[in-house]
């Protein structure tokens, strides 16, 4: 079964996600980047709401390239009671990626929380690193899961930057290293069959279930349609 993660930016949208049947409520701020961090009070309020419905909650801490910033941000998010913390690895060197992830996992070890390491399918234009290097590095840092997203939100999807074979390899490597795998990045309705064939553990969306683009409002009917299609 593929779990559906939807990324609301406020409580109103979170309720739409819950009504639509999303399994994971992923708090982010799309105005501050691919994995833009939201405000502590927003995360806290959405977490309280989602937990009352028995939903898992994740929160993004930004597109980051500094270990100190990432570890402090992850500690703050972990203290708010979420189940997952997602860190966007906006570093160009794999050594920096490992340092960031080790500091994040160390920062949150006292909490019951999972660390998700996010890389970018459009890594060449974003000047980061190849996602295919992430599973082993994330495993070395004791992360719980890995993710592929897109860094630049201009309507282009992960499937435009990575082949089906590369995505399948990424997922397989994650599983071989004992981690779950999430797929995101401009996914749309035309990708449903490809997603089902790839079988990631989680898919992450926002634009796909918004009424009119990434910065408009999430619609519960579209969330419900996605959940139904993915599990059909």
Tell me the three state secondary structure of residue 178: coil
What's the CA angle centered on 204, arms 114 and 139, to 5 degrees? Answer: 35
Least Cα distance to 200 among 170, 177, 221 occurs for 170
Please, what sign has the CA dihedral across residues 122, 128, 133, 136? negative
Q: Is 106 designated active site?
A: no
Cα-atom radius of gyration of the chain, to the nearest Å? Answer: 16
Burial of 127 (0-12, 13-18, 19+ CB in 10 A): exposed
Tell me if 197 sits within 8 A of 169, measured CB to CB.
no
Active site residue 28: yes
Task: Tell me the backbone φ, ψ of residue 212, rounded to 5 degrees.
Answer: -155, 65
Nearest Cα residue to 148 out of 82, 88, 98:
88
Residues 28, 55, 114, 153: which is the catalytic one? Answer: 28
Q: Which of 55, 86, 114, 153 is catalytic?
A: 86
Catalytic residues: 28, 86
């Amino acid at each position: 079964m593929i779990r559906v993660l939807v990324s609301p930016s406020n409580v109103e949208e979170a309720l739409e996600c819950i009504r639509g049947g999303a399994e994971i409520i992923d708090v982010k701020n799309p105005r501050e980047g691919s994995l833009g961090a939201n405000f502590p009070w927003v995360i806290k309020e959405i977490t309280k709401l989602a937990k009352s419905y028995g939903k898992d909650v994740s929160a993004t801490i930004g597109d980051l390239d500094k270990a100190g910033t990432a570890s402090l941000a992850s500690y703050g998010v972990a203290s708010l009671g979420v189940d997952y913390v997602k860190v966007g690895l906006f570093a160009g060197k794999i050594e920096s990626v490992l340092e960031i992830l080790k500091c994040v996992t160390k920062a949150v070890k006292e909490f019951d929380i999972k660390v998700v390491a996010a890389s970018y399918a459009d890594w060449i234009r974003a000047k980061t690193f190849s996602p295919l290097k992430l599973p082993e590095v994330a495993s070395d840092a004791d992360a719980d899961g890995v993710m592929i997203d897109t860094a630049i939100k201009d309507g282009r999807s992960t499937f435009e930057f990575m082949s089906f074979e590369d995505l399948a390899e990424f997922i397989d490597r994650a599983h071989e290293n004992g981690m779950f795998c999430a797929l995101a990045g401009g996914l749309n309705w035309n990708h449903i069959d490809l997603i089902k064939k790839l079988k990631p553990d989680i898919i992450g969306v926002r634009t796909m279930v918004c009424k009119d683009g990434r910065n408009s409002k999430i619609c519960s009917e579209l969330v419900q349609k996605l959940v139904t299609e993915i599990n059909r």
